[in-house]
Chain A
Amino acid sequence: MTRSARIILCAAGLAGLVALLAWGVAGLEPFGHYPGPYGTVLNSVEPHERHAANVVSAVVFDYRGVDTLGEELILFGAVMGLAFLLRENREENTRGVRDRVPSEALRAVGLVAVPVVVLLALDLVAHGYLTPGGGFQGGVAAAAGLLLVYLAGDWRAMRHAGPLPVVDAAEAAGASGFLIVGFATLIASGAFLENLLPLGTFGKLTSGGTIPVANWCAGLEVSAAFVLIFLEFLEEIMAEREAK
């Protein structure tokens, strides 16, 4: 295809895209005035029904818990696939590979940041159903905290902080914990993630019934999944490094 033909094709496609986009944006409701009733209904109903201060968490871990289960299993499957492929094909072992931190500043900042980020992550999970946050956000933040161990110390320190067997077990425990809570409530009451536990007082850590349980399971699963991704990728790089 010649250059001018490509430009014409691209221009035609872009013009169509811009026209469709402008049409769509012009038809949008003004900001903050969306027409769907779902959010409005939940905002008024959720505080009495579930006692969780963060309605988003109540949607994610209760009303739409099945969606979250699907998302969790996608992540679980993706990470399992990654571990399976990389562990199977890894030729070199990584014994004796050196991995020094080149910068003292990086080491200092990293060491200060590790406890801060990990504490923040735990706080995000623990208060996920009271304030913005939750199992997913806190889980990824915790994994980022462990990644900082690699930046500040070395890869071996990170592997020491999160040994692969422990991470594997945590990943499985988080994913199966969510499933167990879901199916236990399904058997007991006939609906997946039906909230059976005492709901507690609105705004307290003990509120929300099964929401905190599902929330912590998700936090464990997500943090282990991301730590596993980081560990496997770093292991790959270190294996290459020795071969050099």
Chain B
Amino acid sequence: MIGAQISALALVAAFALAVVLVHDVLRSAVLYGIYGLMLVVLFVVFQAPDVALSQLVVSTVAFPVIIVTALAKVARRERRRR
């Protein structure tokens, strides 16, 4: 159990770093989805299934979708300005 906890924490830390360090915002948004999935694993390992379920849909679906659609909108506007 301790091993699962440590690996879940390590995975969350690794993907959190990846989200911040990647320069491309689109990649960052997709990585955020995977980071959210790692958080779900963390919550399950630490026996918080209710939180895990909220995290599952919010951070792997809803939040990345909002970011990606906002990016699409901004990118089009930038292109039109040029």
Contacts and interface: CB of A to CB of B under 8 A. Distances in A.
Chain B interface size band reads 20 to 34
B61 A147 contact: yes
A132 B54 CA distance: 10
Contact of A237 (B46, B54, B61, B72): B72
Chain A interface size band reads 20 to 34
B70 interface: yes
Interface in B33-82: 46, 49-50, 52-54, 56-58, 61-62, 65-66, 69-70, 72-73, 76-77, 80
Interface string A12-26: 000000000000000
B62 A140 contact: yes
Given A143-B62, A237-B69, A56 B57 contact: no
Nearest to A134: B50
Contacts of B61: 140, 144, 147
A46 interface: no
Interface of B: 5, 46, 49-50, 52-54, 56-58, 61-62, 65-66, 69-70, 72-73, 76-77, 80
